[in-house]
């Protein structure tokens, strides 16, 4: 039981510390992949991704460390995307606000 608790604490701290900065994604390969499978162009994808990364840099410290770690981990699985990361963080933040409003 104690080992499990210590392991969980270590994993939690690892993911929180990993998410201290906005991650770096390879936008070129991501947008090339999206441009071949969707009606969006490579240029549009790059513009959207760079805009989302700028928003993430500006707002990163306002998102909870746990949400940053969870959303970063989720969006790194397949074609990492700043748009997806920003969306995940906004949903997590807004869900937390709704839950706290329900409690009050």
**pLDDT (0 to 100) of residue 78:** 83
Between CA 4 and CA 1 the distance in angstroms is: 5
The pTM of the full predicted model, rounded to 2 decimals, is 0.74
Q: Please report which confidence band the pLDDT of residue 101 belongs to, taking 50, 70 and 90 as the band edges.
A: low
Q: Any idea what the Cα angle at residue 61 is, between residues 59 and 67, rounded to 5°?
A: 95
The answer, yes or no, to whether residue 15 has pLDDT greater than 50, is: no
The answer, yes or no, to whether residue 16 has pLDDT greater than 50, is: no
**pLDDT (0 to 100) of residue 14:** 47
Q: Which domain holds residue 75?
A: 2-103
Torsion angle (degrees, nearest 10) of CA 44, 50, 52, 57: 180
Q: How many domains does the chain have?
A: 1
The SS3 assignment for 23 reads: coil
């Amino acid at each position: 039981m104690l080992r499990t608790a210590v392991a969980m604490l270590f994993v939690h701290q690892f993911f929180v510390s990993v998410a201290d900065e906005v991650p770096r994604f390879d936008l070129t390969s991501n947008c090339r992949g999206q441009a071949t499978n969707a009606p969006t162009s490579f240029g549009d994808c790059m513009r959207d991704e760079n805009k989302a990364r700028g928003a993430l840099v500006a707002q990163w410290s306002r998102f909870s460390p746990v949400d940053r770690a969870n959303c970063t981990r989720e969006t790194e699985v397949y074609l990492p995307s700043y748009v997806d990361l920003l969306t995940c963080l906004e949903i997590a933040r807004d869900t937390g606000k709704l839950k706290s409003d329900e409690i009050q």
